Every structure is written in structure tokens, then in C-alpha cells.
Amino acid sequence: VLPQYFIPQHFISSLVYRITRCETAWFKNILIKLFISVFDVDMSLANNPDPESYSSFNTFFTRQLSAEARPLSLDEHAILCPVDGAVSQAGNIQNDTIIQAKGKSYTLKDLLVEDEIANMFYGGTFATLYLSPKDYHRIHMPLSGKLSRMIYVPGKLFAVNSHTVRVVDSVFARNERVINIFNTDAGLMAMV
């Protein structure tokens, strides 16, 4: 974790952005096959299981799942979380505090930046989802809603794996993020 404080995070992110969008066939094929091997990606779940047919690493990384891979409830009142990954934390927001990991927490104001927005979620509930490298990398709305506001918050680019979350204070409130506020039938919802 210590090197994350000293490396040029935004420069490396920019470099990775370029590499993952490279469409040179031999290069992107090697990158995709290596990633599948290292992270044990199950391509049978993908809508397109042929690794070489993706135009870039990014199109592979954000690949669509087959319709049969994750059957979803058709109940219009269901709250779903149609992503691969794990719920790393979930619970009630105690006053204005969200749990990051055992012994670590952060405030709604730190995460949502504006007092007016933070105040709307006091006493609500939260869930933190972690997508590992091998997981399907798309986040979907857990219920129907209408976007009312988006706020871009510049910040660091710390990893969000379990080790970093355990040792870096307020990592989710320090990282770059987009705050999306939705009006839903179940009430106000923020996806960050």
C-alpha cells in the first residue's frame, strides 16, 4: 500500500487507459489471454466467449454477459444488484458515518462532498461493492430511477482491494469519483 502514496497515480492511469484501448491485434490478444490466465476469467459467461474477437483490452474488460449468465427477477419491486463481485460492507448509516472496514469509517460529507446532499442520506443504508479484476465490470441500477444530479469529485486513485481498504483511511472519500443522485420509487439513492 505504501507505494500507492508515492507513485504518479494519474500518469499511470493515463498510460493504462491508452494501453487498454490499443487495437493492435497481437498486442491486445496477448494482454487479454494473459489476463484471462492470471485472473482465471470464465469466458463461458460472456456473450462473446472468443477472446481474440474483442477490438481492445477495454472491450474485453467491459464485456457483456450472456443472457443466461445472471438471471434476474422480473418483480418490478425487487432491488437487484446485477454485478459480479462481493458486498464488502453493508448496513445502516449511523448518524453520518459509513463503515469502510473493521475499525475504519468515513462520513457522508466526506463521500458526498456537499452538506445538502449528505443530509438527505442521514439514517439511511449503504452497500459497498467490490469488483475483482476477473469480475464483469459494469454497474447497473439496482432499481428504476431518474437521474437528478451528477457531481464529479477529483481525487486520488488508490486501489480498492480489501488490503488497501483495511489500511488507507477514508479511501472511498479520497478517491476520484462521480456521485450520481437518483429519485426512485423507493426514495432517494446515490450511486458513487
CA atoms within 13 A on the CB side of 133: 11
Is residue 60 over pLDDT 90? Answer: yes
Confidence category of residue 1, pLDDT binned at 50, 70, 90? low
Confidence category of residue 47, pLDDT binned at 50, 70, 90? very high
Q: Name the percent of the chain lying above pLDDT 90.
A: 53
Residue 115 burial (CB count, 10 A)? 11
pLDDT score for 35: 96
DSSP string, 109-175: HHHH--HHHHHHTTT-EEEEEE--TTS------SS-EEEEEEEEE--B----SHHHHHHSTTHHHHB
Residue 8 burial (CB count, 10 A)? 10
Query: Nine-digit cell at 83?
Result: 454485478
CB 4, CB 164: distance < 8 Å: yes
Mean pLDDT for the stretch of residues 98-118: 90
pLDDT score for 49: 96
pLDDT digits (tens, 9 = 90+) for 4-23: 778 888 898 899 999 999 99
pLDDT score for 182: 96
Query: Nine-digit cell at 45?
Result: 459467461
pLDDT score for 161: 85
Q: Which of 33-37, 64-68, 113-117 has the lowest mean pLDDT?
A: 64-68
Query: Which secondary-structure segment (H or E) carries 16?
Result: helix 9-20
**Residues pairing with 183 in the sheet:** 146, 188
DSSP string, 28-83: HHHHHHHHHHHHT--GGGBSS--GGGSSSHHHHHTPPBPTTTS-----TT------
As a whole number of angstroms, the distance between CA 98 and CA 108 comes to 7
Dihedral sign for Cα atoms in the order 136, 15, 191, 162: positive
Confidence category of residue 184, pLDDT binned at 50, 70, 90? very high
pLDDT score for 142: 84
pLDDT score for 38: 96
Confidence category of residue 33, pLDDT binned at 50, 70, 90? very high
pLDDT score for 166: 87
